[in-house]
Amino acid sequence: MEKLKKYISVKDEDHFYHQGAVELLIFNFLLILTILTIWLFKNHRFRFLHETGGAMLYGLVMGLIIRYVTKPSDVGSGIVYECEKLKSGPSTLLINITNQVYEYQYKREISHHNVNGHQDNSMLQKMTFDPSIFFNILLPPIIFHAGYSLKKRHFFRNLGSILTYAFLGTAISCIVIGLIMYGFVKAMVHTGQLKQWEFHFTDCLLFGSLMSATDPVTVLAIFHELNVDTDLYTLLFGESVLNDAVAIVLTHSISIYSPKVNPNAFDAAAFFQSVGNFLGIFAGSFAMGSSYGVVTALISFMHLTKFTKLCEFPMLETGLFFLLSWSAFLSAEAAGLTGIVAVLFCGVTQAHYTYNNLSPDSKMRTKQLFEFMNFLAENVIFCYMGLALFTFQNHIFNPLFIFGAFVGVFVARASNIYPLSFLLNLGRKQKIPRNFQHMMMFSGLRGAIAFALAIRDTDSQSKQMMFTTALLIVFFTVWVFGGGTTPMLTWLQIRVGVDPDEDLKAKAASQTASNLDKNTTKAESAWLFRIWYGFDHKYLKPILTHAGPPLTSTLPAWCNPVARLLTSPSAYGDQLKDGDTDYIINNDELTENYDSSAHIPVPAQDSTDSIQTPGKEDIQEGDLGLGGYKLQLQHTAGQPQKDSLA
């Protein structure tokens, strides 16, 4: 008898392991299917479905199958047991059932309205991730990759505009969606679809903030493939990366906004506390992320004589790079800050400093590793979104709320892009043309971040309604807008097939010819930027990387002993070697650009480098949203576009 019991228990345990395998296998299967489909589509140059859209579609189908093919099988489902002895829910519970003690682990609090509808289908339940997996495992590589692959040169040229869209735009979007939703909620209360207490204005704002995180991954992939105008690409990419960060911190700040008296009344103290929270969390996360980047740069840079450089052990180097970057995320989370923001700026710092110190082997390794992790994580999330429509057990579909959300999202996007573009165009010399604005409006896709924020809390009925609605908006925008990107590009006559380097040269050259006289008048507008660049180039780069001028030439003479200690021996040679200079230019043209005006003699440059002279104006212009270029828009909707769209 005892043996038999043991036998059964082994069987059970095996069954348990196999279950875990089955769920992972389903995900693997969906991803394999997605990859094969995308391969097929790429062969036919069929651009209406991006891999994320495909993953979502397959997830949806699989969710449908799991939902209606598997049956609820468990005993004791939906029955609530009374427990008088306890006052609150402990994290583990030991329960004696027919003389056998079982250990149960706390999972979540269930609202009363969910108890009855609580279907205990174990398959559905097992296909449901813990939301913390999104935040701790799947999002960090995506966000880090975004930061790491930021094209700094173009990004900084448009930094002012990007910051405006990201901060001001996200705030506008959040408030507009919040207001519209509040209107709809009021209407719903009027028509009796909703009880008053279920939806406060803060809830509407929360929904607004989580729906403000745009994720135009589909659009950007197509832009990248077709080599769409670099400025448009950069504006969109920069905005989407930063507004994720802003939206996450905003959501966090709103969720802890707690007016003392009436939740619907405006409480100035609580409001300012939330604003303070927002700024504090953002700044703290930024600091945390960049310091990890700097630490990595320092470690990878160590050139003490007694030590072999770390880059001679590429595996250790890659491992350290990976672990420190992930630690940036985790430390921020552990400190109560926002890991996503930290990991984003960690990525930017790593790309700016650490990347230059890595061995060529590690450069490639880290790039490919993060690219691959990004690819997998993104597809897993989109796949899971598809699954969630059918496997999530507490959906609340409220047509009016969904309609309101769609209206809110589009109006909010419009009141973000158009007014801000108008304002920016007042300052920018190189205006953001109408068709770019339309394209940006069109690219307001919602994706992984909005989903992750919405699924983080689905305990109350209002949160469940938000989650369902967010999911539908993601589906709609990814499939419809994502699929419509190529036709839209054609229709808006946005030029494709642009070589980013050529583009920059052309723009810079045309600008030099026409605007040389305006340099002095605009120079001041960017003073903050120039100070930063000077500091970065003269002190930070030499301390943290092998690039840049030796510290001995940038620091005052009396600092020479320290400077010599801190400067990499290779820094002295670098500025004389043409090959190396060229390399630094390609990687970080801005720094090199500054070079020409710094007090280090630059050797006579060959033809490749001759673009540096106009490039210099880039920085002197500064462009805190005030870039001074005339757009050389070519209406080449005809021949070259056909080539690549065929």
- Separation of CA 63 from chain center: 26
C-alpha span between 63 and 38 (Å, rounded): 20
Among 255, 290, 394, 545, binds a copy of itself (CB under 8 A): 255
Taking CB under 8 A as the criterion, the residue among 65, 83, 513, 516 binding a copy of itself is 83
- Give 379 or 430: the residue with its C-beta nearer to a copy of itself: 379
Output 608 or 644, the one with its CB closest to a copy of itself: 644
Span from 130-138, 230-238, 386-394, 544-552 in contact with a copy of itself (CB under 8 A): 130-138
Q: How far is the CB of 300 from a copy of itself (least distance, A)?
A: 11
Task: State the nearest-atom distance from the C-beta of 517 to a copy of itself, in Å.
Answer: 48
- Dihedral (CA of 148, 150, 155, 159) sign: negative
Inter-CA distances, 349 with 68, 294, 296, 354, 355, Å: 48, 7, 9, 7, 9
When asked if residue 265 is in the footprint of a copy of itself (CB under 8 A), the reply is no
Position among 71, 76, 565, 599 found at the interface with a copy of itself (CB under 8 A): 76
Could you say which residues in the range 360-399 bind a copy of itself, by CB under 8 A?
Answer: 364-365, 368-369, 371-372, 375-376
Shortest distance (Å) from residue 570 CB to a copy of itself: 20
Check if the beta carbon of residue 155 is closer than 8 Å to that of residue 234: yes
- The reply on whether position 306 binds a copy of itself by CB under 8 A is yes
The verdict on 643 binding a copy of itself (CB under 8 A) reads no
Q: What span, in angstroms and rounded, lies between the C-alpha atoms of 108 and 459?
A: 8
Is position 310 an interface residue for a copy of itself (rule: CB under 8 A)? Answer: yes
65 binds a copy of itself (CB under 8 A): no
Q: Does 119 bind a copy of itself (CB under 8 A)?
A: no
| Residue 43 burial class via C-beta count within 10 angstroms: exposed 0-12, middle 13-18, buried 19 and up | exposed
Q: Are 157 and 234 in contact (CB under 8 A)?
A: yes
Q: Which is nearer to a copy of itself, 330 or 509 (CB)?
A: 330
Return the exposure string of 145-167: e unless at least 16 CB atoms fall within 10 Å of the residue's CB, then b: bbbbebebbbbbbbbbbbbbbbb
Closest distance of CB 127 from a copy of itself, Å: 14
Considering beta carbons, is residue 318 or 437 the nearer one to a copy of itself?
318
Task: Write the Ramachandran bin of 53: left for phi over 0, alpha for psi from -120 to 50, otherwise beta.
Answer: alpha
- The smaller minimum CB distance to a copy of itself, of residues 214 and 325, is found at 325
If one asks whether residue 109 binds a copy of itself (CB under 8 A), the answer comes out as yes
Give the DSSP H or E segment for 624. Answer: none
Query: Does the footprint of a copy of itself cover residue 18 (CB under 8 A)?
Result: yes
Integer CA distances (angstroms), 214 to 90, 93, 240, 246, in order: 38, 41, 6, 11
Q: Which whole-number Å values give the CA distances from 360 to 542, 573, 587, in the listed order?
A: 19, 18, 13
Length of the chain: 646
Q: Which is nearer to a copy of itself, 52 or 477 (CB)?
A: 52
Q: Which among 234-242, 346-354, 452-460, 474-482 is the span making contact with a copy of itself, rule CB under 8 A?
A: 452-460
**Which of these ranges, 103-111, 222-230, 240-248, 595-603, lies near a copy of itself under the rule CB under 8 A?**
103-111
Report, in Å, the least distance between residue 10 CB and a copy of itself: 5
Q: Taking CB under 8 A as the rule, does residue 196 contact a copy of itself?
A: no
Binding residues among 400-429 for a copy of itself as defined by CB under 8 A: none
Q: How far is the CB of 367 from a copy of itself (least distance, A)?
A: 10
Nearest CA among 377, 344, 411 for reference residue 155: 344
> Taking the CA atoms of the chain, what radius of gyration do you get in angstroms?
27
Distance, in Å, from the CA atom of 352 to the CA atom of 347, rounded to the nearest integer, reads: 9
Please state, in angstroms and as integers, the Cα–Cα distance from residue 600 to each residue in 25, 497, 549, 575, 595, following that order.
Answer: 59, 37, 7, 9, 7
Decide if residue 286 touches a copy of itself (CB under 8 A). Answer: no
The residue count for binding a copy of itself (CB under 8 A) is 113
CA geometry: angle at 339 spanning 289 and 277, to 5°? 95
Which range, of 128-136, 494-502, 524-532, 544-552, touches a copy of itself by CB under 8 A?
A: 128-136
Site for a copy of itself in 330-359 (CB under 8 A): 330-331, 333-334, 336, 339
**For a copy of itself, which is the closer residue by CB, 101 or 604?**
101
Residues with Cβ within 8 Å of residue 310, at least 6 apart in sequence: 299, 300, 302, 316, 317, 320
39 binds a copy of itself (CB under 8 A): yes
Among 72, 90, 419, 573, binds a copy of itself (CB under 8 A): 90
Is residue 106 within the footprint of a copy of itself (CB under 8 A)?
yes
CB-based contact 355:584 (threshold 8 Å):
no
Q: How far is the CB of 527 from a copy of itself (least distance, A)?
A: 39
Rounded Cα distance, 342 and 137, in Å: 15
What is the token pair recorded at 34?
A: 């997605």
Q: Does 136 participate in binding a copy of itself (rule CB under 8 A)?
A: yes
Based on the shown chain and the rule CB under 8 A, indicate whether residue 29 belongs to the binding site for a copy of itself: yes
